Structure 1
Amino acid sequence: MSNGFDGTGAQEAAGVEPAGAGPVVGDGARQEVHPTGARPEPPPEPAPEPPVEADVGAARLAVLKALGDNTRYAIYLEVARSPLPLGTAEIADHLGLHPNTVRPHLERMREVGLLSVEADTRGGVGRPQHLYSLAPGAPSLGLEPPAFPVLARMLLSLARSTGASPEDAVEAGREQGRVDGARRAGRPCLDALVDVLAVLGFDPAVLAVADGATVAFAHCPFRDLAEANPDLVCGLHRGLVEGVVDAVGGGAVAAFHPLVDRTPCQVQLDLPVGPEGPLALGAR
């Protein structure tokens, strides 16, 4: 409001802009006018995207925070241990909770990538209910249905009894790696490979060098089977890595060191050299 001494109140009442005032912009604020004619400095450039190690770390932190709630963790266990997708009411009944209590916890776990949701289309009155199951890319927490490890051991025994060779295992791994790599088409090679390994629970650690990178496997989700059958299981892992790199492009596997090597489990990649060294994680 005008104090009556500067005359701006009368000017505004008459529809005249006070001297020095800039034009009104869309939100009603006035654009600042610089009497010297100098343009204001442009806003700072947005911060560069964090490298994929930060992305993976942030995703892992979000998962841990999501499971830090006791009720949510109990709900996750219920879904993780079920061989079939579960509905909200079914989960609530198993845990003695109200569906309205369960529903937001399920949604939060879906947001961080722990759970997948699908509509139950088997008919019935009203809206189809949502069914929840472990997301395909959810990190392994050792909570899969007990049938999965048993099935893996039986399939491994079958492969050995039918004469599957280490090269057969490598090729089977390559087929899966190509599928996983194709889903990450357009991403830098190292970025895509680290993402695949992180999703599978290998906890990859990256060391960049002048013309490539070494990706170490800090954790092996296949370890129990690999120690008993290193030629086949490590062959599957090697093929998986090669398949991802082949499908994404922009790199090559220079060496793969499995569990039986004295060198820690790791893969060495040759990567194209850019202005600041090898094609870095998170480059776009």
Structure 2
Amino acid sequence: MSTPPPDRTDLGPDLGADSGADSGADSGADTAHRFGPTRARVLDVLQDLAAPSTAAEVAARLGTHPNTARFHLEALVGVGVVSREREDRTAPGRPRTHYVAAVTGPRSSQRSYRLLAEILATHVDSSAPDPTGEAVSAGRRFGRTAAPAAERPQSVAAAAGLVVDTLAGMGFESQPTPETDSVRIDVTTCPFLEVATRHLDVVCAIHRGLMEGLLESADAPAGVESLEPLVGPSHCVARLTGAATTAPAPAR
């Protein structure tokens, strides 16, 4: 069986190379903000583990392949925010490589936002009369404002492209696939994953609402037929059809 190549999508700037900028002038926060969403999440997980960790352990927390985690970890080693250590072994076998976040390194740019997301999701989940409905409505409202100024999509496939491209700017990685009467969208990276594992209904409802709001704002000839959460590790599946299935947001 062949080994999957590391996922190099959404990497952010190549901070492992000499870009010609004076790296000493960058504050820790500035450096963290220059990472792409995927690499920042790798750093965030390693900081949360707070102990020497293998690529496989980081990958398990992210729901991704160890090769992908290792690729990002090595890039973080290259810019000095992560160090690499060899395991001390007395038993036979190849020593494992451990990674440790630098004590003086930047905190991940998503860290405080994840805490805020956790607080808000917990509140909606425990206090709203209809948590799922409230989350869909919130996502839809934001989605209507996030749609780029563009020509109206003329097909379900074009509408799916709009959704994929717009959500990519929010940290989602998705792949559309045309089917007989719909377009399947495989979401393989979700920026809300860590919160979704504890508040699945609320977070996935926000994701669905985002898509619905985008389609409504663009007056697209498509609607969200379904969103299947976590059919695999860090993998959700949405389907768009030609018949809009979204309901109007509740009046406030």
Bin the TM-score by the shorter chain.
0.5 to 0.7
User: 2:238 aligns to what?
Assistant: 267
Equivalent position SS for 1:159: helix
User: 1:222 aligns to what?
Assistant: 192
Shift of 1:200: 1.9
Matched AA of 2:179: V
Matched AA of 1:259: L
User: 2:125 aligns to what?
Assistant: 160
Give the CA RMSD over aligned residues: 3.5
Shift of the 161–253 alpha-carbon distance from structure 1 to 2, 3 Å rule, reads closer
User: 1:79 aligns to what?
Assistant: 30
User: 2:209 aligns to what?
Assistant: 239
User: 2:68 aligns to what?
Assistant: none
Shift of the 259–81 alpha-carbon distance from structure 1 to 2, 3 Å rule, reads same
Partners of 1:195 and 1:220 in 2: CA distance: 14
Partners of 1:160 and 1:60 in 2: CA distance: 31
Matched AA of 1:177: G
User: 2:114 aligns to what?
Assistant: 149
User: 2:17 aligns to what?
Assistant: 69
Partners of 2:8 and 2:163 in 1: CA distance: 17
Matched AA of 1:79: D
Q: How many residues align?
A: 160
Q: Are residues 1:193 and 2:163 paired?
A: yes
Structure with bigger gyration radius? 1
Partners of 1:244 and 1:175 in 2: CA distance: 9
List per-residue Cα deviations over 1:150-197 (Å, max 9, x = no partner). Answer: 111122222234225211111101111111125445453122101122
User: 1:250 aligns to what?
Assistant: 221
Q: Report 1:1-284 matches (<5 A).
A: 60=10, 63-64=12-13, 66-70=14-18, 75=26, 78-79=29-30, 81=32, 139=37, 141-142=40-41, 143-144=108-109, 146-163=111-128, 165-184=131-150, 186=152, 188-248=158-218, 249-259=220-230, 264-271=235-242
Shift of 1:246: 1.8
> Is the 1:173–1:240 contact (alpha carbons within 8 Å) kept by the matching residues of 2?
yes
> Is the 1:174–1:244 contact (alpha carbons within 8 Å) kept by the matching residues of 2?
yes
Shift of the 145–255 alpha-carbon distance from structure 1 to 2, 3 Å rule, reads closer
Equivalent position SS for 1:218: strand
User: 1:35 aligns to what?
Assistant: none
Shift of the 160–253 alpha-carbon distance from structure 1 to 2, 3 Å rule, reads closer
Partners of 1:183 and 1:206 in 2: CA distance: 21
List per-residue Cα deviations over 1:111-146 (Å, max 9, x = no partner). Answer: xxx6xxxxxxxxxxxxxxxxxxx9xxx745333153
Partners of 1:197 and 1:184 in 2: CA distance: 15
Instruction: Identify the structure with bigger relative contact order (alpha carbons < 8 Å, sequence gap 6+).
Output: 2
TM-score w.r.t. the length of structure 1 is 0.47
> Is the 1:245–1:252 contact (alpha carbons within 8 Å) kept by the matching residues of 2?
yes
List per-residue Cα deviations over 1:217-245 (Å, max 9, x = no partner). Answer: 11122111111111111111111111112
> Is the 1:234–1:259 contact (alpha carbons within 8 Å) kept by the matching residues of 2?
no
> Where do 5+ consecutive residues of structure 1 fail to align?
1-56, 83-113, 115-133, 273-284
